[in-house]
Amino acid sequence: MGLSAITVLGAARPGVVAEVTSVFTRYGANIEDSAMTLLGGHVAMMLLVSGRVPPASAFPGMTVTAAEAGRGHGCEQPGLGYVLTVHGPDRPGIVSAVSGALTAAGGVITGMTTRLCGSLYVMIADVRLPPEADVAEVMRRLAAAGAGLGCEITFRPAEAEVL
């Protein structure tokens, strides 16, 4: 069955998730992976959906995009998991500088949240590093990036808790 990547963006209001998901149900589509968050006053949903994709007109008042998504791209990145925290004064280029330092070490960001709280910018990222990565070198690169941005950076192993 085909897989589609769908984004839904609209004003946050009570019942919006039920409203959106009921459209997929009505069209016989199955929501597989999904993520939803509130960004400012907006609700943002990203969904991988199998089956018949509803037309954008089925979501009145929402901005909807859909694209075909292939299967088998792998749901597990190889390597070891880490959590990165960056916080400091808001300024342009924080995510770019920090993600660049990770990419240079072969790291992959598998999830990211950023928040602006007043003048405080916060970035939390789930990161996977290849097994052969020099973690000390990664931390030196991150520390250098943080110093250049006036930000505090912590980089620590992710808790596994698989029992």
Partner 1 sequence: MFGTAQLLGVLASGVSRQLIGAPHPVLTTRALPVDPADPGVVAAAADLLATMRRSHRCMGLTAPQIGLGWRLLSVDVSRHPRTRSCAGEFVMANPRLVSASRWERAREGCLSVPGITGDVSRATRITVRGEHPGSGAPVTLHADAFEARCIQHQLDHLDGVLFLDHVTGTRSVHQGARERCDR
**Where would I find the H helices in 27-134?**
94-104
Residue among 15, 18, 73, 119 that touches partner 1 (CB under 8 A): 119
CA distance 77 to 42: 30
- Toward partner 1, which CB reaches closer, 30 or 113? 113
If one asks whether residue 152 binds partner 1 (CB under 8 A), the answer comes out as yes
CA distance 152 to 76: 29
Burial of 41-65, coded b for 16+ CB within 10 Å and e otherwise, reads eebbbebbbbbebbeeeebeebebe
If one asks whether residue 38 binds partner 1 (CB under 8 A), the answer comes out as yes
Residue among 76, 118, 131, 162 that touches partner 1 (CB under 8 A): 118
What minimum distance in Å lies between the beta carbon of 80 and partner 1? 14
Residue among 80, 88, 135, 143 that touches partner 1 (CB under 8 A): 88
59: left (phi over 0), alpha (psi -120 to 50) or beta: beta
- Toward partner 1, which CB reaches closer, 23 or 95? 95
One-letter identity of residue 110: T
CA distance 149 to 147: 5
If one asks whether residue 14 binds partner 1 (CB under 8 A), the answer comes out as no
Residue among 12, 104, 120, 144 that touches partner 1 (CB under 8 A): 120
In DSSP terms, 37 is beta-bridged to 44
If one asks whether residue 113 binds partner 1 (CB under 8 A), the answer comes out as yes
If one asks whether residue 77 binds partner 1 (CB under 8 A), the answer comes out as no
CA distance 29 to 51: 5
What minimum distance in Å lies between the beta carbon of 27 and partner 1? 28
Binding site for partner 1 (CB under 8 A): 38, 83, 85, 87-89, 111-113, 115, 117-120, 122, 124-126, 150, 152, 154, 158-159
